[in-house]
Amino acid sequence: MTKKTIRDIDLNEKKVIIRVDFNVPLDDHQQVSDDTRIQSTIPTIQYCLEKHCKVILMSHLGRPDGKVNKKYSLLPVAKRLSEILKMDVSFAHDCIGNEVKAQVTKLKSGDVLLLENLRFHPEEEKNDSDFAKQLSELADIYVNDAFGTAHRAHASTEGITKFLPSVSGFLIEKELKYLGQALSKPEKPFIAIIGGSKISTKITVLKNLLEKVNTLIIGGGMSYTFCKAEGWLIGNSLLEDEYIETAKQIIELAKSKKVELVIPVDHIVANKFENNARVKEVVGDIPDGFIGMDIGPRTIDLIKLKLKDAKTVLWNGPLGVFEMENFSKGTNTVAETLANIKAITVVGGGDSVSAINQCGVADKITHISTGGGASIEFIEGKKLPGIEALNDLA
């Protein structure tokens, strides 16, 4: 069923509580160092303000383990949000209780209030019904616009929906549109590029994608387990020995599904895991004493060739140790290539998104997922509690 969005409900003059994902990085001065997640929720907040709503925002930040910890206060986020919205955003020093209720009562239409970190209360992650009810009592309508937490059944994502009309914001709507379209009705050829360090965290993703894609490209640290499974020597590269058989099964599954499986044919290797290590380029086997750090030029050219005619591309995970400049070429080239092809391009995973931003091509990508773990579970084909709990569009 399609879920209701804020367009499908009367918001005029209502008190609206929005679950946002303001789990943003703070610098040593407790200032927001990357406001991407804040910016991504602005369309939903602005829409509610245009409807003369009283807007109440709630989020978590970090892992305070159910205790008040000033290090994880959302106060710096309130300050940054004020700057972005060009208006005063008030701040509540808790998320439930009489003082918070009093602050909500004083709100006027067009006001915005940010609640303190939900995870200062252990009841949030326990999906405590009473805690969820107290959150619900602050508003008339619940909006979930935090896709990054939608895979968790917490009080602010699932519990609260039992007490209020519950709809999605524009960010979740966009995530479901592009991720959902890519996985259920992709325009073909459909190519998935899956990177990252470990095959163990992506097994279900790979198997689910083999049911849908025409080509599956594997890179990053996990690719060396596949290389080993194919009989190549991998030197001192990252290896999950217990998953070699799994890699063989995935290779055979790809053959049976007539899916083209691409693993690196050459590598940039180093004698130690450092940016300034001794580096060389190898084709095929990686010699002892060397670590695979990035895909080589032949593999880069192969990937570019495959992407040229793609109609839908899903990318999750870097193709090398891209945080080290000398081993970032593979990942950055893929980012630049995706920006210059005529295809629906969907990018998820923190490092992949960082590469897109680093290359300055974010505006040329169809959709950049904010989901993290939620994106992975969605690609795996799992149902997300925070989405399932929203009202269906009849």
Catalytic residues: 37, 198, 350, 373
Give the burial string for 329-362 (b: 16+ CB within 10 Å, else e): bbbbbbbbbbbebebbbbbbbebbbbbbebbebe
d(CA 336, CA 365): 10
The residue assigned the tokens 């992949």 is: 352
Specify whether the CB–CB gap between 68 and 97 falls below 8 A.
Answer: no
Q: What CA–CA distances, in Å, run from 258 to 211, 214, 216, 253?
A: 10, 8, 11, 8
d(CA 54, CA 33): 28
Phi, psi at residue 322, to the nearest 5°? -70, -15
Tokens of 180: 């959902």
Q: What CA–CA distances, in Å, run from 187 to 178, 181, 284, 310?
A: 12, 9, 33, 9
